[in-house]
Every structure is written in structure tokens, then in C-alpha cells.
Amino acid sequence: MEVRRSIDLAVDPDRAWEALTGHAGLEAWLGGPSSLELAPGGLGVLTDEDGVVHLAEVDEVDHGRRLVLRWVPVGQADAPASRVELTIERHDGHSRVTVVETALAPVGPTASPDDDDHGTWAQARAARWDARLGHLEGLLVASSHA
């Protein structure tokens, strides 16, 4: 099960990378206290605006271009661990940020390929990423006018 979302940002890729991965930027667009060691094997604790805490481990980093991590929400037995890939590409004079989240285990306690929980998980994750990316865009717009 995979969710893919993209957004075009009116900033250069370096600024987009800093907003996505820098300590202040990471906390701002996720919406809660967060830290992440940006190196393969690096660990992190990422908190979203709803207070959901994710434990994370970095798999790959190509500074300025790509971050791949695995994360699992704490205290949510029915939520699977997932792989999150964030990429930044120069696109028509802007930056395109793409996120791909892939569940690493079946979704739901008795999930099967025909189980409706798959659609529910994907819909919920897509909505969450749309909100996060929209928040990131809003923060970058606001900071460019400051």
C-alpha cells in the first residue's frame, strides 16, 4: 500500500530542503516537537500537529535532494510502520517536493488485499500528507514576506 503526494514550491531546492529537514523547519511543518539525525542509521522522534509521535530511523540521505526513513507511530497498535521517501527536484524554476509513504506491514489487524482498511489507511495518509505539504507551503510563503 502506497501513498504519493507532490507539491510545487516557489523556492529553490536548497531552501525547500532546509524547510523540510532543518530542526526549525521540521518542527514547523510537522506541527510538533521533532528531531532527526540526517545520516543513514540516524534516529529521530517526529511529532505531528495532532500530537502523534513517530519513532524514526533514517535509511538514506542525499543532502538537498532525498531523504528516506522508516517510522512507526507510538501507541497506535493498528497503525503499521511505514517507509517515507521525500524528494526535491528543480521543476520549472521552482522546487517539486514529492512524498511517498509505503506501509511496511498489512494495514489493520486482519488486513488482506480485499480488506477495506487498505483504502481507509491510504485515504487517511493522503489527507495527512496533503495537509502537511500545504502547511509547508504556507510557512515558506509567510517567511518570504517577512
Domain containing 50 — which CATH number?
3.30.530.20
Q: What is the pLDDT of residue 102?
A: 95
Number of H helices, E strands in the chain: 3, 7
Taking residues 69-97, what's their average pLDDT?
A: 90
Average pLDDT (120-139) is: 90
| Integer CA distances (angstroms), 26 to 44, 105, 122, in order | 11, 26, 23
- Average pLDDT of the chain is 87
Q: Which residues lie closer than 8 Å to 1 by C-beta, 6 or more apart?
A: 102, 103, 107, 118, 121, 122
> Cell 532546509 sits at which residue?
18
Domain count, the chain: 1
Domain range for 9 is 2-144
Winning range, highest mean pLDDT, from 25-29, 54-58, 104-108? 54-58
